[in-house]
Amino acid sequence: MKKLSALFALCMALTSFAPAMADGDENLQKVVDGSLIITRVGGTGTALVLGTPVAATRRIASRYVSFTQGASDKVGGKLGGKDCGPVMAVMSVFTIPAAILVGSAEGVYYSGKNSFDHGFNEPFSPASFSVTEGYKE
């Protein structure tokens, strides 16, 4: 309870520095932007925490498919490559560790990129969580 009251006191102290503005004042937009800083920082942090597993899962799946198809074409090219099921099955055993390693690293990178690109200007948007087409690769 002390932490909650301390957080409330901190928020009250931060908002007490904002001047009162009339509707027609040109500095009104600056005041509005300043008051949204807590929401924007919260949106960025939440997108970073929750978007990392989403981005990592998407990248692992993408890398798994591309690594398996590429290895099947290189190793089993004479047997049919990526069109041959048994070749794909054998190659998938070897490519899954690499896909997990590379996909996880890329997921962390892209999650951070998306959370900072979209999370500040569009807090809590699907693109900031690496979910929609706004997801950059």
Half-sphere exposure of 26 (CA within 13 A, CB side): 0
Query: How many C-beta neighbours within 10 Å does residue 107 have?
Result: 23
**CA-closest candidate to residue 114, choices 96, 93, 91, 137:** 137
Cα–Cα distance for residue pair 126/88, rounded to 1 Å: 34
Token pair in block for residue 65: 């498919």
Reported pTM: 0.68
The residue type at 132: T
Question: Per residue in 41-98, pLDDT tens?
Answer: 888 888 889 989 999 999 999 999 999 988 888 887 777 777 777 888 888 899 999 9
Contact 115, 122 (CB under 8 A): no
Residue pair 115/51 in contact (Cβ under 8 Å)? The answer is yes
**pLDDT bucket at 134, cuts 50 / 70 / 90:** very low
| Secondary structure (DSSP) of 52-93 | HHHHHHHHHHHHHHHHHHHHHHHHSGGGTGGG-HHHHHHHHH
**Of all residues in the chain, what percent are helix, strand and coil, respectively (each to 5)?**
75, 0, 25
For the stretch 73-85, pLDDT in tens is 888 777 777 777 7
